[in-house]
Amino acid sequence: MARGESGWLLDEFPYVRLGDGSRPLVVLPGATDPLFDGNYPRLAVHLLGRYYHRFTDDYTVYVISRPRGLEAGKTIRDMADDYARVLEEEIGTAAVWGLSMGGCIAQQLAVEHPTLVDELVLGVTGTRIAEGARERVDEMRRRAYDHDWQAIRAAIAAGMFSDWRRMVYPSMTASVGRFTLPTPAVPSDAWISIEALLDYDGRRSVGGIRAPTLVIGGENDPFFPPAILEETAEAIPDAELHVIQGARHGAFHTHKPTFERRILAFLDGR
């Protein structure tokens, strides 16, 4: 089991550190990140240690949340600049793995701060949300205004899973989750994050990425489908693409062994 610790980097960024490998691997979470208070209790550290255990022999894994209390109008590029401060002052150059919205931030981090990113993994993400998903994501934004966190989680769960969880998790999240799941420390962080994601379009900028890049996602992802994954990989000079058959937006959960093997092969080959 990977050794772990939690706390705050630069007194702003909630984080979990796992393992003691020689290479840093920084994980940037997705749009659900603001939906908890930012404190990683001991149980969460333990579970994340189990989740990332395949990486912690060779890497020190940092799962780094975004600050609580985001300014109105905060953009993906602003968030990338924030993470650059963390790397510069706390970790140094690292492999960066962005998931979903975190992948959009990771793209901009690699564009704006190329010396901080050794390798880039873009998981279930791309240069923009698919046009067909924008209405769904905008509905999540409206739900955030109403503080309806369970509805947001249910909508995300419906897009994530390709197995039995696709039927069970949305209803459980909207019912039992109302009493058991955490809530945001700062509610506005949720809609500010979703607005930043809706506004993001990296098609003109990702050509400036110099880090070797893996774009990996699901064949049936409603938010970042294969067309967006392909568009992203083609726009980045040194990128390879891997589409997992049958997977949706939660490919890193439902197809975890395949997802991890491909990332490790990519990272270990560099």
Q: 73-115: per-residue pLDDT in tens?
A: 999 999 999 999 999 999 999 999 999 999 999 999 999 999 9
pLDDT at 3: 74
pLDDT score for 179 = 44
> Where residue 150 falls among pLDDT bands split at 50, 70, 90?
confident
Token pair 């962080």: residue = 189
Percent of the chain predicted with pLDDT > 70: 91
Mean pLDDT of 124-138: 97
Residue 78 lies in a domain: yes
DSSP tag of 160: H
The verdict on residue 48 lying in a domain is yes
221 Rama sector, left if φ>0, alpha if ψ -120 to 50, beta otherwise: beta
Instruction: Give percent helix, percent strand, percent coil of the chain, each to the nearest 5.
Output: 45, 20, 35
Q: Which residues pair with 216 in a beta bridge?
A: 123, 242
| pLDDT band with cut points at 50, 70 and 90 for residue 178 | low
How many structural domains does the chain have? Answer: 1
Task: Give the C-alpha separation, 236 to 206, whole Å.
Answer: 6
Alpha helices in 34-187 (DSSP H): 42-51, 76-86, 101-112, 134-145, 149-160, 165-174, 177-180
What is the per-residue pLDDT for 2? 61
* pLDDT greater at residue 77 or residue 3: 77
Residue 175 confidence (pLDDT): 53
> What is the residue range of 226's domain?
4-131+201-268
SS3 240: strand
Beta bridge partners of 99: 123
- On whether residue 190 sits in a domain, the answer given is no
In a domain, 239, yes or no: yes
Instruction: Name the percent of the chain lying above pLDDT 90.
Output: 84
The answer to whether the beta carbons of residues 95 and 121 sit under 8 Å apart is yes
The whole-number pLDDT of residue 245 equals 96
pLDDT at 177 over 50: no
CA gap 14, 64 in Å, rounded: 6
Closest CA to 166 of 157, 174, 175: 157
Report residue 165's pLDDT band, with 50, 70 and 90 as the boundaries. low
Average pLDDT taken over every residue of the chain = 92
On whether the pTM is more than 0.75, the answer is yes
Say which amino acid occupies 128.
R
Asked if residue 176 has pLDDT above 60, the reply is no
**211-241: per-residue pLDDT in tens?**
999 999 999 999 999 999 999 999 999 999 9
Q: What is the CATH number of the domain that holds 243?
A: 3.40.50.1820
180: in domain:
no
Q: How far is CA 17 from CA 1, 12, 44, 84, in A?
A: 13, 15, 11, 17
Residue 213 lies in a domain: yes
Each residue's pLDDT tens digit, 31-65: 999 999 999 999 999 999 999 999 999 999 999 99
Specify if 216 maps to a domain.
Answer: yes
3-class SS of residue 125: coil
Is 127 inside a domain boundary? yes
